[in-house]
Amino acid sequence: MSVLLGAILVVSGPTVVIPLLRHVRPIGQVGPIMKWEGIVIDPLGAMLAVLVFGLIVAGRLEDATTLVIVGFLKTIFIGGFAGVIGAVLLLFALRRYWIPDFLQSTVALMMVFTVYGVSDLFQSESGLLGVTIMGIIMGNQKRISVRHIIEFKENLGVLLVSGLFILLAARLESSDFSGLSWGSLAFLIILILVVRPVAVILSTIKSGLNWREKLFLMWMAPRGIVAAAVASVFALRLLDTEVNHPEADELVPATFLVIIGTVTFYGLTVFPLARRLQIAQPNPQGFLIMGAHSWAREIAKTLQAKGYQVLLVDTDWENLSAARAAGLPTFYASILSQYALDKIDLSGIGYLLALTPNNGANSLAALHFAPFLGRANVFQLPPEESGEGRKEAVSHHIRGRLLFGPGITYSYLSRRFNTGSTMKATGLTEKFDHDDFDRLYGNTAVPLFLITETGNLAVFAADSQISPRPGDTLIGLVDPVDETANGKEN
């Protein structure tokens, strides 16, 4: 029973790890390592638990050894084969447009059930490995966009996992935990402070990871729904088998103790640790700027001068050369390409500013990066006014938030910069507040960004309600004025 519990606790918790990673936003390799560890180790841990369960049921060591070896090979072969075939068939149908768009997510779900069921039909508990391999192939191929299927999967996963946790926990009685003792707590502490660090040290030898990254990996191993589900299933089966292990009723409470303990411990401590190790971006406020033309460079230089990370993306070499000469980071690519999505390092990037004259391209860029930055943080210029009115307007649900305000279009900003308007960062005080700013620079001043007294940055948008206060820094586009003559103190 101890070996079975150990096999069950091999699994990590991607349903817990991935939300934590989204919150912490670690820099470098540790994020992908944690994500893929959770994804890959779940089917392997479940398979190991199945083999140990078979050993317990077999009773005799000779029979169990043969059972374990044969079961392991069959699980790997059948699960892997089913997963590959399922992915190939689904990609084949998607590539030839045999499946209507509105049915693609449903058909993908049907294929997942099919792979799981067929794989389990030939080898018990191999279905989880099969669908994991299918998902790895689907998620890493580049020929067909499956983002809509992934989004459907994530929404469905949240509902199913939440419901399953409630169902499994509802089976427990308070008396089930009476068998747990100080030894159980000691086991949990050893699991966190000894077992996980040793596992990371051994598995990252010659990996190239620095000590900060290794320490972060040591501090991140919560258990999740797979451990709870596998423990519950095996406990029921062991209590029903002829072998009938009396300790089987302690399996689920011990597993839930580890789940609750690890999720609580890592959830409360991993964020402060990541901050101290300087590998986290909890509140990224850098800017990914689409377009490197003259006034986009002026905006980028002003933000960079205030200490914010910027990256200009363009396909015009002349614009990029001018940006590099001004000391601005650049990236040569179409921001709409998969290459840009794969290669651009979004560490520290929290906002997208689409500043090109092409409203359609701006909208596509906003859609492209909304899953990574959040819809609230992708901005684009308002479209140019036209005689067609709303016929040419892009619907609000397939574009970013409109920058700066109504009428602040590409042509408007180009005209203002060409006629001498400049970027100006103004510190607001009790003696020179926002009303004084308006009186000094007039109604032609365009507020662009606001840096609060605490250092947080806000982007002015058509749908935002931002109230500058004393202590804030207001960055705007203003016409040249005589500040001394108008009463502004230097």
pLDDT tens digits, 155-176? 888 788 888 878 877 877 777 6
The percentage of residues in the chain with a pLDDT greater than 70, rounded to a whole number, is: 91
Mean pLDDT of all residues in 110-116: 94
Strands 446-451, 457-459: pairing is: antiparallel
d(CA 230, CA 256): 11
Looking at residue 386, its pLDDT comes to 52
pLDDT beyond 90 at 89: yes
Higher pLDDT, 296 or 51: 296
- For the record, the structure tokens of 74 come out as 């069959």
Mean pLDDT of the chain: 82
Higher pLDDT, 281 or 383: 383
Return the minimum-mean-pLDDT range out of 112-126, 199-213, 437-451: 437-451
| Architecture of the domain made up of 286-478 | 3-Layer(aba) Sandwich (3.40)
pLDDT beyond 70 at 61: no
Looking at residue 62, its pLDDT comes to 61
The confidence band for 239, taking pLDDT boundaries of 50, 70 and 90, is confident
Dihedral of CA 334/307/359/342: which sign? positive
Sole residue written with tokens 């926990």: 169
76 DSSP 8-state letter: H
Higher pLDDT, 408 or 397: 408
The confidence band for 388, taking pLDDT boundaries of 50, 70 and 90, is very low
- Residue length, the chain? 490
pLDDT beyond 50 at 383: yes
Higher pLDDT, 314 or 231: 314
pLDDT beyond 90 at 68: no
When mean pLDDT is compared over 47-56, 156-165, 245-254, 314-323, the highest value belongs to: 314-323
What's the pLDDT tens digit per position in 174-190? 776 776 778 888 989 99
Looking at residue 394, its pLDDT comes to 55
Looking at residue 387, its pLDDT comes to 47
Looking at residue 76, its pLDDT comes to 87
Domain ranges for the chain, please list them.
2-277, 286-478
CATH class in words for 2-277 = mainly alpha
Looking at residue 166, its pLDDT comes to 84
The confidence band for 111, taking pLDDT boundaries of 50, 70 and 90, is very high
**H-run or E-run covering 19:** helix 14-24
d(CA 361, CA 337): 12
Mean pLDDT of all residues in 64-87: 84
d(CA 378, CA 400): 5
Q: Which of 246, 260, 258 is nearest to 8 (CA)?
A: 258
Mean pLDDT of all residues in 238-245: 65
Looking at residue 489, its pLDDT comes to 47
